[in-house]
A and B are shown apart, each in its own frame.
Chain A
Amino acid sequence: MLEISHLRFDVTAENGGELEILRDVSLTVEDGKLVVITGPNGGGKTTLARTIMGLNQPTGGSIRWNGQDVTNLSITDRALAGISYGFQQPPRFKGMKVKDLIALAAGKEELAPGEGCRYLTQVGLCADDYIDRDVDASLSGGEVKRIEIATILARQAGLMIFDEPEAGIDLWSFARLTETFENIHKRGDSTLLIISHQERIIRLADEIVVIEGGKVAKHGPQEEIFPQIMARTVPGCGYMREGER
């Protein structure tokens, strides 16, 4: 179980004032659930995900994972405790091969035959074409993104956080990716936290969390929250309503 309690993250703005990126976020995610975090840009979704992974150190509140307080653990220790995070904009590595990166993610010296292939296929990449390639600038944004997701699949951590996994990915791969999320969810041995704006991913969710202005604006079962989000998109915006007439 992931328990986030009164989490705060403030940064000092250029003018010296305090910017509140996360203001008092409390959230509980049960084991094996698929929870989608959505909400407007700049609302604090990525900051929340990065704070869970330890990439940002919160200025207040606590994070518990499987009953353990991880708030002050290092990134490495959180990873070893079973938390994983797929970067929204993954880095590239000159000279590191796709298979090396996936092996590192799987915690092995070398991948078993077919193992890398399995993870790559799940993100819609043909392993033969990619396994020996460098994770460098020769790969497109969408390719790097899918390899990033494959590293999270290889980690098989108890908590998988994906940050806009759909960004930059073509329609065909996206369909494959949603299937992959669905399958992980069905197996039920990992908890999935997915930041997304895609209807098809949101539809997979057990629960939806809407983060807005650094706070949890809504949190509830998908059936309840999804219609509320949809209702807000068109009628909520005067400009778009104008266009419909």
Chain B
Amino acid sequence: MDKTEWKVLKEIAELEKVPQGAYNFRVNGKLDDRKVTANIDIASKTDGKPGIDITVKPGTKGESVHIPVVLSMTGLTDVVYNDFYIGEGADVDIVAGCGIHNTGCETSQHDGIHVFHIGKNAKVRYVERHYGEGPGTGARILNPRTEVYLEEGASMTMEMTQIRGVDSTIRDTVVEVAAGGECIINEKLMTDGEQVAESNVEIVLKGDGATGRVVSRSVGRGKSVQVFRPCMTGKADCFGHVQCDSILMDEAKIKSIPAIDAQSVDAQLIHEAAIGRIAGDQILKLLTLGLTEEEAEEKILEGFLN
């Protein structure tokens, strides 16, 4: 990888050198570097599809897998299928993410299709950052699809962040949670300029004691457009909460359509959604602390998106 690619990698995975544990670097549609460990195997798909199978042995604790993707070639459309098999009782961190550096005038696009099979009582923390940069006029497009199947007592926390530089994104996330399982999705999104982002999240709570939580925070600036469609379905004695909060600036447009679908009398489902500009008294308070208006705005957004 060259300097530009490492810089992109730092943005999406906070990596400055190869990480500890297992990893798979994909650059411009090809494998760049890979390392497996005794407990975590990464293998290229053999069915002809591009992508990898990541298998974590049952009981693996405290290990991590990094699978970043970098696109620095203009005009490339990269589709990748990654399947994760997390063994029973494992406890691992998975860091994914995609960064595009587009210097040309053609579209660069990455569509990552991730499927997670998470075994009984296993725990996964999944971090995914999407980022775009580059002086080219070509669009930077990311259309990820994530499917998660949680077995009994399994849990998955997903941090999905897209703060800068992605022109167009359609994100689909589908999760099924078995009894006693838990899925937490923290989504952070900021769009600017003419960017467009759409996020569809569907969580189905299938078993008793299943929990689902979606916390979506977004900021729309410039003339950008965002659409959120989080849907929580409860089919058992379960608890689900959907919370969408958006800050609107400039001439941006945000549409938020949270849905809850109870198919059992014991399902407890809640949704909240709010869209509004930055509250004037927040800005005033920070001005009285000596910040300029621009600094105040930046601090409020920084806190909001954490």
B-contacting residues of A (Cβ < 8 Å)?
A: 53, 55, 74-76, 79-80, 84-85, 87, 90-91, 93-97, 100, 104-105, 107, 151, 155
Cβ-defined contact, A105 with B289, below 8 A? yes
With A94-B304, A95-B303, A97-B303: A87-B290 Cβ-Cβ less than 8 Å: no
Cβ-defined contact, A95 with B290, below 8 A? no
With A87-B281, A91-B279, A91-B282: A96-B300 Cβ-Cβ less than 8 Å: yes
Given contacts A91-B285, A94-B245, A104-B289, 18 further A-B contacts (CB under 8 A): A53-B288, A74-B287, A75-B287, A76-B287, A76-B290, A76-B292, A79-B287, A85-B288, A87-B285, A93-B303, A94-B217, A96-B303, A100-B299, A100-B303, A104-B286, A104-B299, A107-B290, A155-B290
Is there a chain A Cβ closer than 8 Å to B257's Cβ?
no
Which residue of the partner chain B has the closest CB to A53?
B288
A-contacting residues of B (Cβ < 8 Å)?
A: 217, 245, 279, 281-282, 284-293, 299-300, 303-306
Which of the residues B217, B281, B288 comes within 8 Å of A79, measured between beta carbons?
B288
Cα separation A194 to B299 with both chains bound (whole Å): 29
Cα separation A161 to B286 with both chains bound (whole Å): 15
In the A-B complex, list the 10 residue pairs whose CB atoms are closest, starting with the nearest: A96-B303, A79-B290, A75-B287, A91-B281, A95-B303, A95-B304, A91-B282, A105-B289, A80-B290, A76-B287
Cα separation A12 to B285 with both chains bound (whole Å): 25
Cα separation A75 to B285 with both chains bound (whole Å): 10
> What secondary structure prevails in chain B residues at the interface with A?
helix
A100 partner residues in chain B, CB cutoff 8 A: 299, 303
A90 partner residues in chain B, CB cutoff 8 A: 285
In this complex, the member of B291, B292, B303 whose beta carbon has the largest number of chain A beta carbons within 10 angstroms is B303
Nearest Cβ in chain A — how far from B159, in angstroms? 14
Which residue of the partner chain B has the closest CB to A134?
B303
A96 partner residues in chain B, CB cutoff 8 A: 299-300, 303-304
Which residue of the partner chain B has the closest CB to A79?
B290
A95 partner residues in chain B, CB cutoff 8 A: 217, 303-306
Cα separation A81 to B299 with both chains bound (whole Å): 21
Which residue of the partner chain B has the closest CB to A102?
B289
B282 partner residues in chain A, CB cutoff 8 A: 91, 93
> What secondary structure prevails in chain A residues at the interface with B?
mixed
Which residue of the partner chain A has the closest CB to B274?
A94
Cα separation A92 to B281 with both chains bound (whole Å): 9
Nearest Cβ in chain B — how far from A229, in angstroms? 29
Which residue of the partner chain B has the closest CB to A96?
B303
Which of the residues A55, A93, A97, A107 comes within 8 Å of B288, measured between beta carbons?
A55
Q: Could you list some 19 contacts between A and B, CB below 8 A? A: A53-B288, A74-B287, A75-B288, A76-B290, A76-B292, A79-B289, A79-B290, A84-B288, A85-B288, A91-B279, A91-B284, A93-B303, A94-B303, A94-B304, A95-B303, A96-B299, A96-B300, A104-B286, A107-B290
A97 partner residues in chain B, CB cutoff 8 A: 303
Nearest Cβ in chain B — how far from A62, in angstroms? 20
Nearest Cβ in chain A — how far from B248, in angstroms? 14
Nearest Cβ in chain B — how far from A98, in angstroms? 11
Cα separation A100 to B282 with both chains bound (whole Å): 14
Cα separation A215 to B82 with both chains bound (whole Å): 73
Cα separation A105 to B296 with both chains bound (whole Å): 12
In this complex, the member of A91, A97, A151, A155 whose beta carbon has the largest number of chain B beta carbons within 10 angstroms is A91
Cβ-defined contact, A55 with B304, below 8 A? no
Cα separation A93 to B305 with both chains bound (whole Å): 11
Which residue of the partner chain A has the closest CB to B279?
A91
Cβ-defined contact, B299 with A155, below 8 A? no
A107 partner residues in chain B, CB cutoff 8 A: 289-290
Nearest Cβ in chain B — how far from A157, in angstroms? 9
Cα separation A151 to B290 with both chains bound (whole Å): 12
Cα separation A155 to B291 with both chains bound (whole Å): 12
Cα separation A97 to B281 with both chains bound (whole Å): 17
B286 partner residues in chain A, CB cutoff 8 A: 104
Nearest Cβ in chain B — how far from A18, in angstroms? 24
In this complex, the member of A80, A95, A107, A151 whose beta carbon has the largest number of chain B beta carbons within 10 angstroms is A95
Nearest Cβ in chain B — how far from A56, in angstroms? 11
Cα separation A155 to B290 with both chains bound (whole Å): 9
Which residue of the partner chain B has the closest CB to A82?
B290
Cα separation A67 to B16 with both chains bound (whole Å): 53
Nearest Cβ in chain A — how far from B247, in angstroms? 9
Nearest Cβ in chain B — how far from A131, in angstroms? 15
A55 partner residues in chain B, CB cutoff 8 A: 284, 288
Nearest Cβ in chain A — how far from B126, in angstroms? 21
A151 partner residues in chain B, CB cutoff 8 A: 289
Cα separation A87 to B286 with both chains bound (whole Å): 11
